[in-house]
Amino acid sequence: MGSWRHLAVIAVAAIGLSPAASAADAIKIGTPIPMSGATAVYGIPVLQGIEMAAAEINAKGGVLGRKIEVLARDSKANADEAVRLARELIIKDNVDFLVGTLTSAEAPAVSTVAKENRIVLIVPASETMMLTDAAHIHPYIFRVATNTDVEGAAGASIMARWKNVKTVATISPDYAYGRDVEAAFITTLKQLRPDIRIVDQQWPKLGEPDFTSFITAQMSKKPDAIHCSLFAGDFVTFVKEATPRGYFKAVGNRVVDGADIGTTDEALALGANYPYGIVGNGYDPVIWGGGAEPPAHKKFIADLKAFTKTKVASGWSIVGYQSVYALAAAIKKAGTTNSDAVSKALSGLSWDTPVGKRTFSVKSHETFAPQYWGVMVKDPHYPFAIMKNPKLLAMTVAVAN
């Protein structure tokens, strides 16, 4: 009898020593994202935004009394690697959700994994239409970034204002993102300026180490202006090879690049080599160069610099940050971490961000996030290019709730 009572006490103690195994366990977020290679210049800051949001939420007690744990893995911007990591995170690490990927090669591939495993995936940055169009949408995929239809149309609306431009060339990476954004750009440009002719299109591969042949081929067509969608390390390499050949000077710097090259990340990477005078964009200008900065954004940037221990904040961290806050709001609304319930809570969800409220479309699971656009200029206060008077350009193309 005494032994039985002793065992019972041990059993009760064991239960107590498993501190609320279900209630207090961390909510695990799996994050496959490029942390090495040419796209790491964007991938690492997105991850930092994810981690900062998790840290802030945890400091306030977490979600449903549980802390958030971020499990980050380097996808190397490779779709196969991103898929492998996503499956490992789900099966081996038992993550509750996925928040990540960067490129338009990774995101659709990982979306398929999310669908197969019935687990919510929030994509901070990938913009390809293949992610959320009618053929690929499913209950577990949500996008914080804009899409290529919106981005391409926005670039065309800027190009169309240049009355002296009659011929245009394009150069974009030869995969889903580049193809999608250029199709949207050309469609919209033809509607706005049917007098403009597309005289050349160049398609370097993602991660192209030498743009020389593309540059010389394009310059031989003598366009009046250029639409470019090269980004991250590719844009840095491209600029360093194009500038000495007079590429930007030949078109009077009439270049529009909608691949978020208006961020401080690209400006810092290029320094004095930045092609001043071109038009760039970004989800966050960071330094507003005369624009009206929201008060909430000032605090966000101050906190981000402290969190990352940097003097200049990234323009990419905000999309990772927004993604985790959206997920936390949905978990709280659902009252559970069950992905089916959280998926329903995310559909139509509105939440506050440092640059205003965002809402997921019920139909497409997108936010159609507007981006800031402006001329990239030299400023005596900064040793890198900044966006002059950034303006939100929110296109309504393809937007439907």
Helix axes of 232-242 and 40-59: crossing angle, nearest 10 degrees: 140
Cα–Cα distance, 132 to 401 (Å, whole number)? 13
**74/83 Cα distance (integer angstroms):** 11
pLDDT value at position 24? 52
Question: Between β-strands 225-228 and 255-257, what pairing exists: parallel, antiparallel or unpaired?
Answer: parallel
* Tokens read off for 138: 């499913």
Say what the alpha-carbon torsion angle 267, 273, 276, 278 is, to the nearest 10 degrees.
-80
DSSP 306: H
Q: What is the pLDDT of residue 20?
A: 38
Please name the residue that has the structure tokens 């011929």: 167
Report the b/e string of 5-23 with b at 16+ CB within 10 A: eeeeeeeeeeeeeeeeeee
Domain with CATH 3.40.50.2300 in the chain: 27-146+298-359, 149-291+371-393
Amino acid 198 reads I
**pLDDT, tens only, 376-393:** 999 999 999 999 999 988
CA distance 399 to 401: 7
- CA distances (Å), origin 207, targets 38, 40, 65, 172, 290: 7, 12, 43, 11, 34
User: Token pair for residue 68?
Assistant: 């958030």
pLDDT tens figures, 81-111: 999 999 999 999 999 999 999 999 999 999 9
Q: Please provide the DSSP assignment of 76-124 as one string.
A: TT-HHHHHHHHHHHHHTS--SEEE---STTHHHHHHHHHHHHT--EEES
CA dihedral 207, 44, 129, 203 (to 10 degrees): -20
Q: What is the pTM of this model?
A: 0.88
pLDDT digits (tens, 9 = 90+) for 300-350: 999 999 999 999 999 999 999 999 999 999 999 999 999 999 999 999 999
19 HSE (CA, 13 A, CB side) = 5
Of residues 41 and 119, more confidently modeled = 119
**Of the candidates 87, 307, 331, the residue with the CA atom closest to the CA atom of residue 299:** 307
Of 34, 204, 7, 192, the closest CA to residue 107 belongs to 34
Q: CB under 8 Å to 3, separation ≥6 — which residues?
A: none
Determine the topology of domain 149-291+371-393 in CATH: Rossmann fold (3.40.50)
Q: Is the pLDDT of residue 398 over 80?
A: no
Please write the tens of the pLDDT for every residue from 158-209. 999 999 999 999 999 999 999 999 999 999 999 999 999 999 999 999 999 9
| Secondary structure class of 194 (helix, strand, coil) | coil
Does residue 57 have a pLDDT over 50? yes
Say if CB 82 and CB 75 are below 8 A apart. yes
- CATH for 27-146+298-359 is 3.40.50.2300
Q: How confident is the model at residue 395 (pLDDT cuts 50, 70, 90)?
A: low
DSSP label at 182? H
In this predicted structure, what is the pLDDT of residue 132? 94
CA 323 to CA 318: how far, in whole Å? Answer: 9
For the residues of 207-218, what is the DSSP string, one character each? T-S--HHHHHHH
Q: Which residues contact 2 (CB under 8 A, 6 or more apart)?
A: none
- CB contact at 8 A, 39 and 168: no
Q: Which residue has the tokens 């993102």?
A: 177
Question: Cα separation of 22 and 94, whole Å?
Answer: 13
| Bridge partner list, 228 | 171, 257
Tokens standing for 350? 């509105």
**Orientation angle between helical segments 79-91 and 106-117, nearest 10 degrees:** 30
**Three-state secondary structure call for residue 69:** strand
